[in-house]
Structure 1
Amino acid sequence: MFHKLKKLWVGMMFVGLILAGIGSSIQAEEAGQEMYRLYNPNSGEHFYTADADEKGNLVRVGWRYEGIGWIAPNKSSTPVYRLYNPNAGDHHYTLDASEKDMLVKKGWRYEGIGWYSDDAKRVPLYRQYNPNAQAGAHNFTTSLEENNHLVSVGWRAEGIGWYAIGEGSAPVSSISRLSTTNNRVVDENGNPFVLKGISTHGLAWFPEIVNQKSFSNFKYDFGLNTVRLAMYTAEYGGYCTGGNRAQLESLIDQGVNLCKELDMYCVIDWHILSDGNPLQHVNEAKQFFQKMAQKYGGLPNIIFEICNEPNGGTTWEQVKQYANQVIPVIRQYSDNLILVGTPTWSQEIDKPANSPLNFNNVAYTLHFYAATHKDDLRNRYLQNVNRIPIVVSEFGICDASGNGGIDEQSANQWMKILNENQTGRILWNASNKNESSSILAPGTNMGNWTTRNLTTSGRWLLSQNGGGGTPTPPSVLVDPT
């Protein structure tokens, strides 16, 4: 028996759908084992176990519990074998003893019988394979509709993996409300959490990127967990300079809803740039963030970025004056993470390190463009990363103009130190603008694109995070199909 799909649910390289109308586990006549589903935000793997202690231990070390996947029989004549690949770091499950033995010979570790398949074959678990993932590439679902949807977006149907005696509960969102502790952004378990994202270009100029296909590609193909919605304030069509506010807010609404459906974080970015000093439009900012916080502040995946790049001689004291007016407006409705820009186009992170804001759950932003910003700015980052929480809410692999030469070597150096220090990062930008920072080639249909349409920046991002940023698979890793 299947329930109609209510909305799309996606984990790191694992896709599920929230099923409408499921209030509790659907039990068969006999008792069975509840199969716990967990998600590793670092590797992108989903893991299944009938052992409550194992579930608890994994949650304590940073895995996220995502509910009951299905009800397995307590015993049958058909075991499901569980194996682990120590090189790629993920698990595989199979009914086929010969497949199990073959994988063991190739270097996999056999971990015993994970659970049993229903001999009566009442509830099939459909299996799909994501050819873009490097680990955690298989999805298992009791929903034929979900199976068909995944196939329609590029997954490969691999038939029925095994059978259950009953369906599970609705998936629990993998989103954890973020906060700051010990100068790091952390999840609800206190574990450091790394935002990996993409920023839109100005919503007024490239609204077409806000669509299901694009956001799904960010999740499925790039392994990203965050989309930043750039609301320009002062440029042509900006929110404070004659832009259609209702239309711009509608794009925010669409982006927030897509991120919610896909279990991704959504950064609502007040994108000051030519206005330089955020105090110039402080009243509009207060009104905007009051509206956004009232509407979305209760969602765990929302992050508020209150000033993109203070510049033009704006001082940290002026930014603090602005933040001390805007943050209390947000805090009336939400305790979610807030990002605050720093002077000189969000490069002077030493200033807030010396004089931080007096609010909880605030991180400070660093922006870099790899072909321009090299050892000097990297050293400044390293000198301050353990003094304040830092998020790289915008970066590129080209020069600071957004349209110059690309320096992948410098970009890779940046990624190395960001990874070592568990710092989130968001690439600029998701558009088809004819500039080197865009991930899509000029002329690309932003409502229907694939990885074949990527620029050099797009291909670099894909290489960084494709497959959830998991390790490169060894030669023994095979598609068990």
Structure 2
Amino acid sequence: MKVVFVAICVLACAINFSTSKDAALETVSKHGQLSVNGVDLVDQNGEKVQLKGMSLFWDVWMPQYYNKDSIDGVHDNCHSNVVRAATTATSEYDGGYIDDPEESLERLYAVVDAAIEDDIYVIVDWHDHEADTHKEYAVEFFDTVSKKYTGVPNIIYETFNEPTGQSWNDILKPYHEEVIKTIRANDPDNVIILGTPTWSSAVDQAAASPITGQTNIMYTLHFYAGTHKQWLRDTATNALNQGLPLFVTEYGTVNADATAPVDEAESRLWWNWLDEHNISYANWAISDKVEGASALVPNTTATQVCQEEYLTESGRLVIAQNQA
């Protein structure tokens, strides 16, 4: 009995009980400056770290959530250690950074400053499907933001939300390389995430021809559980096996067009796969739009973000996962 008791004690002492499963407690003050080691996101001590949280909706259409009250809710009630600010590059009717950079930056800075105050990470996302045709604006945007927040460990850059049919080798790689160069002139260390072809799902193309000569870069994987099944997990697993580090900056529990129903079974398969591979993820979206992907019911205010009575079916499922 004594031998068994000693063995149990040794095993218990070897377990790190200080590690929380609740993402809200895995903060910047705990993990500090992030970097990339192989396919893994690691913290200031070189230990693997996983970010789990929420993406805001396109800023021009949901500006009411680009403020401190909303980010407090994302952290406290959505149990998140990362929030993604989706800065609209341009929209057909409602503007965006290209039309009104000062207003766009004001919204972005409100989110970034709130995330810093709340001790969580924040993804600065150039939310565009045709960023290659707006490259001069993207370069200007990332130059401005990276100068303002140089050396701030909370910041993660996402250079191109979702390319569509652009060639990886001919168009996307040169675009990313130029934006990386711009950011690195101001911020040599913070993680940069690069959009991949076909709505950021064709990570196999990036794995076949990754960007070289850079550190702390990752590649975007997006999925919607109702549409993207085992075939995409297989594609992503192959990319990981080729050494491509992945970050899911956007995912949904529903169909790719954001419509219901919630596919809980497939969502859980995805979460299990993400957790198994230590891949970080942010849910789409902090939005009260009437559609399946929204985490919030209609007319939810910033002060009510992620409170239980204001969550949709998807929102409830996602927030439970952020604590798992």
Same fold by TM-score greater than 0.5: yes
- The offset of 1:388, in angstroms, is 1.0
For the residues of structure 2 that align with 1:197 and 1:462, how far apart are their CA atoms?
8
The equivalent of 1:380 in structure 2 is 235
**One of 441, 451, 455 as aligned partner of 2:312:** 455
Q: 1:286 to 1:234 in 2, by over 3 A?
A: same
Is residue 245 of structure 1 aligned with residue 114 of structure 2?
no
- Please list, as runs of the form range in 1=range in 2, the aligned pairs for 1:429-440 lying within 5 A after superposition: 429-440=285-296
- Please list, as runs of the form range in 1=range in 2, the aligned pairs for 1:37-436 lying within 5 A after superposition: 40=19, 42=21, 173-235=29-91, 236-242=93-99, 244-273=100-129, 275=130, 278-334=131-187, 335-358=189-212, 359-386=214-241, 387-436=243-292
- Please report the RMSD computed on the Cα atoms of aligned residues, expressed in angstroms: 2.0
For the residues of structure 1 that align with 2:147 and 2:23, how far apart are their CA atoms?
32
SS of the residue aligned with 1:270? Answer: strand
For the residues of structure 2 that align with 1:41 and 1:303, how far apart are their CA atoms?
22
For the residues of structure 2 that align with 1:186 and 1:41, how far apart are their CA atoms?
16
**Cα contact 1:185–1:193 (8 A) shared by 2:** yes
For the residues of structure 2 that align with 1:45 and 1:191, how far apart are their CA atoms?
18
- The offset of 1:314, in angstroms, is 3.7
For the residues of structure 2 that align with 1:389 and 1:397, how far apart are their CA atoms?
23
- The offset of 1:267, in angstroms, is 0.3
For the residues of structure 2 that align with 1:419 and 1:318, how far apart are their CA atoms?
32
Q: 1:298 to 1:41 in 2, by over 3 A?
A: farther
SS of the residue aligned with 1:280? Answer: helix
Q: What amino acid sits opposite 2:239 in the alignment?
A: N
For the residues of structure 2 that align with 1:297 and 1:45, how far apart are their CA atoms?
24
**Cα contact 1:208–1:447 (8 A) shared by 2:** no
- The offset of 1:241, in angstroms, is 4.8
For the residues of structure 2 that align with 1:373 and 1:463, how far apart are their CA atoms?
21
The equivalent of 2:298 in structure 1 is 442
SS of the residue aligned with 2:304? Answer: coil
SS of the residue aligned with 1:350? Answer: helix
More moved, 375-384 vs 229-238: 229-238
Q: What do the CA deviations read for 1:212-258 (whole angstroms, capped 9, x no partner)?
A: 3322222222221000000121323343553x321110111111111
For the residues of structure 1 that align with 2:254 and 2:71, how far apart are their CA atoms?
23
For the residues of structure 1 that align with 2:24 and 2:113, how far apart are their CA atoms?
24
SS of the residue aligned with 2:227? Answer: coil
Q: What amino acid sits opposite 1:341 in the alignment?
A: G
Q: 1:223 to 1:447 in 2, by over 3 A?
A: closer
Q: What do the CA deviations read for 1:2-51 (whole angstroms, capped 9, x no partner)?
A: xxxxxxxxxxxxxxxxxxxxxxxxxxxxxxxxxxxx963545698xxxxx
- The offset of 1:378, in angstroms, is 1.1
**Cα contact 1:369–1:397 (8 A) shared by 2:** yes
- The offset of 1:187, in angstroms, is 0.7
Taking structure 2 as the reference length, the TM-score comes to 0.88
For the residues of structure 2 that align with 1:289 and 1:237, how far apart are their CA atoms?
22
**Cα contact 1:240–1:281 (8 A) shared by 2:** no
**Cα contact 1:314–1:344 (8 A) shared by 2:** no
**Cα contact 2:71–2:115 (8 A) shared by 1:** yes
**Cα contact 2:219–2:245 (8 A) shared by 1:** yes
**Larger radius of gyration, structure 1 or 2?**
1
Any stretches of 5+ residues in structure 2 without a counterpart?
A: 1-16
Q: 1:198 to 1:356 in 2, by over 3 A?
A: same
**Cα contact 1:267–1:304 (8 A) shared by 2:** yes
For the residues of structure 2 that align with 1:375 and 1:339, how far apart are their CA atoms?
23
Q: What amino acid sits opposite 2:218 in the alignment?
A: A
More moved, 339-348 vs 351-360: 351-360
Q: What do the CA deviations read for 1:276-324 (whole angstroms, capped 9, x no partner)?
A: xx22011111111000000013100100000011103443431101011
More moved, 297-306 vs 439-448: 439-448
Which of 1 and 2 has higher RCO (CA within 8 Å, sep 6+)? 2
Task: State percent identity of aligned pairs.
Answer: 34
**Cα contact 1:183–1:390 (8 A) shared by 2:** yes
- The offset of 1:330, in angstroms, is 0.3
For the residues of structure 1 that align with 2:103 and 2:90, how far apart are their CA atoms?
16
For the residues of structure 2 that align with 1:439 and 1:45, how far apart are their CA atoms?
17
Q: What amino acid sits opposite 1:346 in the alignment?
A: S
What is the aligned length? 303
The answer to which structure has the higher strand fraction is: 1
